Chain A
Amino acid sequence: MGFSLSSSHMIFFIGALIVASSAMAIMVNVILTISTNVESRGEDLSNKILSDITIINDPENIPQDPLTIYVKNTGRVKLDTTLDIFLDNEYIKNATVTQLDNNTDLWQPGEIVMITIPGVSLSSGEHTIIVITSSGVSDRLVFIVRGD
């Protein structure tokens, strides 16, 4: 009787340990996933807060043939130069992005990239260009093309 009581206690004890360990293992995994996501979200948010770009062209004198747009990294973090460009709400596929100040892969704060869009013939009047970075930060410039 004494033995069976201890055995059943032992069985309950081992069972409880297995249940508790399994639950812990699952939940540790969940907690780690949550905290990793929170951390990564924090970094993203912080980067987004610190990211900013400015289209710095003179809106009354945009170099054409090819259309040349200058964008300055006016934020505090490095950006990559993968940019999406919309000219008059049309996505531009053949734009070339060149860094003016250095040749590193990343676009340093305070530095400028030059976007050239070949084969564009703009009519006289107002036009809009929008530049969007891979982190979602964007700037927009309304510029004027004067007729000859």
Chain B
Amino acid sequence: MGYSLTLTSVLFFSFFLFSFYFLYGTLREFNELTDAANDLKEERDRVLKNTDITMKGVLIDGKNLTFTFENSGYTSLDVDHLTFIIEGVVIEKENLTLTLEEDWEEYWQVGDELVVEAYLPNLSLTSSAGDTAWLVTPPTTPTGNITIASGDHIYCLILNSSSPTIEIFNRDGKVVGVVPSTLLNSPLDICVMEEDLLVLNKTSVDRFTSLGYKNDDNYIGSLVDAELITYSHGYVFIGLANGSIIRYTSDGKNQTYLFSLTSGSDLMDIYAGAMLHLFVKKGNFYWIYNLTLGGALHSKMNLSAALSATPLAFSYFAPGEQLVVLTQGNNSHMVYYLASGNFYSLNASIIRDPVALDVGDGIYLVDQGTHTLQKLTLGQKVKIITREGWEGVWEF
């Protein structure tokens, strides 16, 4: 009897041990499964929190749009699963070409640019009509030239006869800083160098922070009759009144004479990207000279022959260095841009007296007639959705 009971107890005990072990294993698996899922969810939330994208530029060429975006967040992004919506419609993958700055990378790394070429067969995005987004009215009345230099901020040099200032706007057109005239020394032109703002005076260059605090007096000194400044690829290029171009290294020390215009030519403006572009007036004709960053003349274009109106100012759209020209006719100002070898026009007639332009996430114009900084857009929207569901919308 006792033997049977003992054996039964042993059997029950073994069974309970087995059951506990089995149940424990199942519960542990359950926990591991849910923990792993929670970890993945937390990882997704972290990616969402750290995601940010900035639109740097857009160019329209008939049914082809080219956007440049920068990964301005704190996490790399999966390019294969980015979704683009333009005017409410998802752009299918066969109509999209995505090019990463570092094309060997699988992910879009922080700080890198992504160029998106979208073909829109069913959308009519011809550039015949413009739409103006008013940004801001500068509080002062400019009496001289105005120059803008885009970056993450938009800098507007306002040359009043007595008190020049630089106003700093964000992308929404709000003033985020002002460089007062007391910190300026007869400024003539401005440009952005990495995170800094360079201000050209007749005989020197001063350096300011991106929010307009003075960083370095006489960052470059001992210039003679300087007029224009631009920056690219670690070099500062300065145009002199006699038509010469000097190149400085970004520390402002080593200088090289690059190029000189022939007599009778006036240097109107300069722009440096992958090449150095000069806007030149020769007699009654306007030219674009394209130089290498080392100063060798690469090509020339007679703008007066290509455009029917008088060119006023020029800039370049970064991917492919596409030329954008502001022209002035009799009450009919136009912005032309060169794409696929042809000039396309945007009507800017609403702007009374445009004097300067720069290209970024739209075409920015300074209007002396209305004393405003304006953004010329087509009134279209582009929306990006990342794999994790982060969304950004930009108007262009």
Q: A residues bordering B, Cβ < 8 Å?
A: 8-9, 12-13, 15-17, 19-20, 23-24, 27-28, 31, 34-35, 38-39, 41-43, 45-47, 49-50, 52, 54, 56-58, 61-63, 68, 70, 72, 74, 76, 100-101, 109-112, 114
Listed by A's residue number, 24 A-B pairs whose Cβ atoms lie within 8 Å are A15-B4, A16-B5, A16-B8, A23-B12, A24-B11, A27-B19, A31-B19, A35-B23, A38-B26, A42-B33, A46-B34, A52-B44, A58-B383, A58-B393, A63-B89, A68-B89, A70-B85, A72-B389, A74-B389, A76-B44, A100-B92, A101-B93, A110-B81, A112-B83
Supplied contacts A35-B25, A56-B85, 14 more A-B pairs, CB within 8 Å: A19-B8, A31-B22, A31-B23, A39-B30, A42-B33, A45-B33, A46-B34, A56-B83, A56-B391, A58-B393, A61-B381, A72-B83, A74-B389, A110-B387
Interface residue from A38, A61, A74 paired with B388 (Cβ < 8 Å): A74
How far, in whole Å, are A4 and B209 apart by their CA atoms in the complex?
107
- Chain B CB count within 10 A is highest, among A17, A20, A52, for A20
Give the chain A neighbours of B19 by CB distance below 8 A: 27-28, 31
Which residues of chain B (368-396) have a CB below 8 Å from chain A? 381, 383, 385, 387-389, 391, 393
> Which residues of B does A touch, CB under 8 Å?
1, 3-5, 7-8, 11-12, 15, 19, 22-23, 25-27, 29-30, 33-34, 36-38, 40-41, 44, 78, 80-81, 83, 85, 87-90, 92-93, 381, 383, 385, 387-389, 391, 393
Q: Looking at chain B's contact residues, is the secondary structure mostly helix, strand, loop, or mixed?
A: helix
Do A72 and B26 have beta carbons less than 8 Å apart?
no
What's the nearest-Cβ distance from chain A to residue B356, in Å? 32
For the complex, give the distance between the alpha carbons of A12 and B388 in Å.
67
Return A135 CB to nearest CB of chain B, in Å: 13
